[in-house]
Structure 1
Amino acid sequence: MSLVVYAAAGLFGLSAVILFSRPRAALRNPLTASTCAAVALGAICFFLSAPVTLRAVNQFTEIPNFGAPLTYSMISAYSCSLIILLIHWRGGSRTYRMRMALRAIATYGSLIVAIIVCFTLADAHTERLSDLDTYYANTPYMREMIVLYLLGHGACLLVLGVMCVRWAREVTGLLRTGLRLIIAGIVLDAVGFEAAKTVAVVARWTGHDLDFLSTIVAPPVVSVGALVTSVGFVLPRVLPSAVTHWRSLSDLRSLTPLWREVQSVTTAPKPSPSWWQLPQKRLHWLEASIHDALLALAPYFDDGVRQVSLETALGDGNSPHQAQVIAEAAMLADAARQATVPQDHHIKDPSSYRLQATAAPGASGLVALAQALGQSPVVTAAREGSVKATHD
């Protein structure tokens, strides 16, 4: 069982690290901060609930079963964080959100105090690592402690479920997908954990033994349910950014032929970003460097080379737009070649032509130019100096 919950804790922790990759920005945004807090508390809950961790906590504190109230308190804190997260996610005035969040903290803070008091008053000297709920189901104060944490978690599931179902009817797109995942996770949690634990405890009260529901069924189901819920919370926050960085990574690879063509041109030095920085930042650096190089090559642009290449590309069956891109790429390749020869061989009448690729939004124009540089035989001819242009 420890392996299952440790795996869940690891996935939760990874999600928290991704969300908290920019600490200052995360702390300034209540929604991001509450998301990070909820995911981190979920990871701690799973880590603490593993039998191996429970034994280590009990040995460290030298208090039998001390890991139980610690875990139950963290489950209550996690339940509270989910409600606060949904409050910030749902929106509203800052005053309203703060008031609702403080109410949730006060409610679950009182619950945590009650859990600790019950454990302090209870007689629980026999260490139980996996079946404490059912083993102590009839023990005074331990019984109340177990009921309290189950009620607190159940109330959280009920509030989240009602809020998500209502909100899902009002929204569309990725937000609705996230809400549906949260609802699915709540159902798994309610059936596989809350109901299973409750039935097993009530069975003990009535003299029956259904401990397997608490010890075998609940742990893996609640792990899956919590992960699905967390994905529902994280997905709308992370996916748009992930898609942006994935596209940036694709553009970085596509711009390689263009950067290879112009990188030898003398430009103002720029610090190269580290390999571990996000693709979007690396793409911005590369675009800026390419634009600087294009400005340095502008005096070497030859309209004659561009015109001859345009006619050749059209004759090869390319569309007018694609032929224009190929012609610009050929002129750029010719300019890069001329920039490496002695000054007295440079063209006498440089072009004032502005590359259309630089006017396109984002990196799309540069990517098209890079593709032409790497694929077109017309560009290859210009790079080798075999395009004959006539100047008046």
Structure 2
Amino acid sequence: MIAVVLGIGLCYKIPAFVGGGSNPLARQVAGLLLAACCVFFFAAPSTIAVVNDLTGITNFSAPWVYSILTGFCASCLLLIVKWRGGTPESIRQATWWVYGSYGTIIEALWVCFALGDHSVERLRDFDTYYATTPWMREMILLYLLGHAVAVLITSALLWNWEKRVRGTGWLRAGVVILGIGYALNLLYDAAKLTPVIARWNGRSDLDWLSTNVAPLIAGVVGLLIAVGFIVPHAGERMSQRLTARREYRVLGPLARALAEVPAGSAPVALGPFAPLELRLTRRKTFIRDALRQLQPYVNPAERDHVEQSCISQGKEPAAAKALAAAAAITAAVKRSQAPGTQAPAQTPGPIADTISDLVSLSRAVRKLPGAPAVRRTNTQESVTS
């Protein structure tokens, strides 16, 4: 089940993995999630039995799963090191240290497996059953210590990094979730190591910690790690989409008010299932183009008069300016449509320069007394988008 959840997270990251040539961190996150999926997949008792049967080697799955887990630990360390940044030299030294130490651990795991007696197949309790067997004992202890060291270092780096990313919203949320997940890994190591040490002292009454409790902790850890890596990107993406949807909706009154202004260029037709971001870009482009076409028909004196009138009525300067611009635009639309109308000799400056100006202008248009009259559904902008 956990492998499936991690697989979903991996699928979410596949686009970044495939197209992440310019962002190696995206590829590394996808690779880390892939390693986590492999750990849970190959650690399942049913998979263990299949792998043992396919290789023809009793308990072959043990060093295989331990190697994948050790590689996953190394990937975590490398990702956090590169995430935090630093000088190229420090990052290079840390990378080689991780490769060297954890590569050596993986080699040692297979050497111990080759030297030890592992003739009795154990699908669920390998760690405790072979806790006192020469070379198997060393292999088990080696992978647990390697895992614990990686967890301690990663947790420390994450919580230290959390102080630096406060106020960053989704990134901080992801770092906190990852920090909790890696901290819980210490409980996993304790649940695994405690019964092993108990076996060294002739006790088997704590085997349930390794067989029953540790897998549950591992499941929770897997979920937290998957969520922690997904939350920053997914949360930011969701925030951007909500912002785009809000801007698209708010700009509606202004787009409808400018519906009758001739376009300066041929409109780009969009299908009914066009992405929201593309429709928003189309609406902004339409509004700016219409405002440029309408600019010569805006009467500056008329706009200044409305602005001063609004201020005298107690409105804030920004609100008065937006209302004056909205009134001037509405009048300019009517003026541009009247036969034989000449544009004023004095051409005013730009009506709106930024998206914030456009939003304020659209809200002001909606507040004008005649706003409902210009709310058409068969406008050039709405039809093409």
Q: Which runs of 5+ in 2 are unaligned?
A: 377-385
Q: Deviations over 1:127-176 (max 9, x none)?
A: 54433323333444443332221111011122224444555667754477
Q: Within 5 A, what are the aligned runs for 1:278-357? A: 279=277, 283-284=280-281, 286-303=283-300, 306=303, 310=307, 318-336=315-333, 341=337, 344-349=339-344, 352-356=347-351
CA distance in 2 between partners of 1:329 and 1:53 (Å)? 68
Partner of 1:209: 205
1:370 pairs with 2:370: no
Give the one of 147, 154, 173 matched to 1:153.
147
Contact kept in structure 2, 1:334 and 1:382, CA below 8 Å: no
CA distance in 1 between partners of 2:53 and 2:28 (Å)? 33
CA distance in 1 between partners of 2:342 and 2:203 (Å)? 99
Q: In 2 relative to 1, CA 258–170 (structure 1 residues): closer, same or farther, beyond 3 Å?
A: closer
What's the secondary structure of 1:377's corresponding residue? coil
Q: Within 5 A, what are the aligned runs for 1:42-53? A: 42-53=36-47
What's the secondary structure of 2:216's corresponding residue? helix
What's the secondary structure of 1:73's corresponding residue? helix
Q: In 2 relative to 1, CA 348–243 (structure 1 residues): closer, same or farther, beyond 3 Å?
A: closer
With 34-43 and 308-317 compared, the bigger mean Cα shift is at 308-317
CA distance in 2 between partners of 1:382 and 1:273 (Å)? 23
Note the C-alpha offset of 1:217: 1.5
TM (norm. structure 2) is: 0.77
Note the C-alpha offset of 1:101: 0.3
Contact kept in structure 2, 1:301 and 1:332, CA below 8 Å: yes
What's the secondary structure of 1:359's corresponding residue? coil
Contact kept in structure 2, 1:12 and 1:40, CA below 8 Å: no
Partner of 1:390: none
CA distance in 1 between partners of 2:132 and 2:173 (Å)? 42
2:84 corresponds to which letter in structure 1?
Answer: R
Partner of 1:389: none
Give the one of 62, 69, 86 matched to 2:63.
69
Note the C-alpha offset of 1:42: 2.6
Q: CA RMSD in A?
A: 3.9
Partner of 2:381: none
CA distance in 2 between partners of 1:311 and 1:21 (Å)? 57
Contact kept in structure 1, 2:256 and 2:375, CA below 8 Å: no
Q: Deviations over 1:18-51 (max 9, x none)?
A: 7548512313xxx444444334433332333334
Give the aligned length.
371
CA distance in 2 between partners of 1:14 and 1:90 (Å)? 25
Give the one of 126, 137, 148 matched to 1:132.
126
Contact kept in structure 2, 1:8 and 1:223, CA below 8 Å: no
Note the C-alpha offset of 1:85: 1.8
Note the C-alpha offset of 1:77: 0.9
Q: In 2 relative to 1, CA 15–136 (structure 1 residues): closer, same or farther, beyond 3 Å?
A: farther
Contact kept in structure 2, 1:42 and 1:78, CA below 8 Å: yes
Q: In 2 relative to 1, CA 100–325 (structure 1 residues): closer, same or farther, beyond 3 Å?
A: same
CA distance in 2 between partners of 1:200 and 1:351 (Å)? 88
Q: Deviations over 1:77-104 (max 9, x none)?
A: 1111111122223322212211210120
Partner of 2:244: 248
TM (norm. structure 1) is: 0.76
What's the secondary structure of 2:204's corresponding residue? coil
Q: In 2 relative to 1, CA 64–327 (structure 1 residues): closer, same or farther, beyond 3 Å?
A: farther
Contact kept in structure 2, 1:254 and 1:370, CA below 8 Å: yes
Identity rate, percent? 32
